[in-house]
Amino acid sequence: MEALKVEGLTKQFGGLVALNKVTLQVEKGELVGLIGPNGSGKTTFFNCVSGFYTPDEGHVYLRGKKITGHPMEKICESGLYRSFQIPRAFRELSVLQNVLLSQPHRTENLIDILFRRTSDVLVNRGKEYIDFVGLTHLIEEPAGNLSGGQQKLLELASALMKDPDIILLDEPMGGVNPTLINKITDLILELNRSGRTFLVIEHNMEVIMGIAQRLYVLDHGVLIAEGGPEEIRNNDEVLEAYFGK
């Protein structure tokens, strides 16, 4: 079953075609990579799929339902979570408060969470995800005090709180030290083995080639290759895009 299907996605900014009829799909339970040189259109693709931008052409389907052009909040509530290259946590709020704010179809409002009037069931669920990503010792720490890697872990806990059908991660290893890269990698793999679906943008080729079951490659807004890691490694068009060979 397709978790995500994208058909002919096109986005222009003035005379620049950032995405040109991009088509791909991610099956439920897959871990798929989206790679390409800087400026190839990867983040623009995420922005169009998640509702941050409205595509000029094409369609996006989540579990078979068209979500093209829906507001970002509605798409998120429908079951698609996307991260950003720079995590967008509420810096003055604690780790726990940030995670609680990510609950789906939120019943408690910000005031309830700020003044700790949240249900025990919800708090315990949030604590479980915080423990899973290894941030229990920082649970009351303001998110702004966390390192870049720890903020990526917080973002992953927040994603799990929403219980999405597919998680889109935009450079989860970017700016992260080697120890936390290994931890984040292990967490993504563990979640995937448990049935979570991922589409991951990543510049760390060693990481993405090691975890992705399939990869798509963008170059100048055009999808130039699709296949398994070994196939992509040996694809002449991909090598040309990255190295000019």
Quick: pLDDT tens for 49-102. 999 999 999 999 999 999 998 999 899 989 999 998 877 888 999 999 999 888
pTM: 0.91
pLDDT of residue 82: 94
Q: Is residue 111 assigned to a domain? A: no
- Distance (Å, rounded) from C-alpha 78 to C-alpha 211? 26
pLDDT of the residue at 104: 61
In a domain, 159, yes or no: yes
Q: Among residues 137, 100, 89, which one has the least CA distance to residue 122?
A: 100
Give the domain extent around 75.
2-89+150-243
Could you tell me which residues are beta bridge partners of residue 167? 81, 198
Residue 115: inside a domain: no
Residues 6+ apart with CB under 8 A from 122: 100, 103, 108
CA proximity to 102, closest of 54, 167, 192: 167
Structural domains counted in the chain: 1
Query: The domain spanning residue 216 has which CATH number?
Result: 3.40.50.300
**Residue where the block lists tokens 């995405």:** 19
- pLDDT for 27 equals 97
CA torsion sign for 184, 189, 190, 192 is positive
Structural contact between residues 17 and 53, judged by C-beta atoms closer than 8 angstroms: no
Least confident of 8-12, 23-27, 114-118, 227-231: 114-118
Task: Count the neighbouring beta carbons within 10 Å of the beta carbon of residue 223.
Answer: 22
- Check residue 52 and report its DSSP letter: S
Is position 29 within any domain? yes
pLDDT digits (tens, 9 = 90+) for 171-208: 999 889 999 999 999 999 999 999 999 999 999 999 99
Work out the mean pLDDT of the chain and round it to a whole number: 91
Q: Is residue 169 part of a domain?
A: yes
Is 200 a member of any domain?
A: yes
Q: Is residue 189 part of a domain?
A: yes
Say if 113 falls within a structural domain: no
Q: Is the pLDDT of residue 115 over 50?
A: no
Exposed e or buried b for every residue in 182-216, given b needs 16+ CB within 10 A?
ebbbebbeebbeeebbbbbbbebeebbbebbebbb
Structure tokens, 21:
């009829």
Give the C-alpha separation, 182 to 190, whole Å. Answer: 12
Whether residue 106 is predicted with pLDDT greater than 80 in this model: the reply is no
Digit-coded pLDDT (tens) for 203-233: 999 999 999 999 999 999 999 999 999 999 9
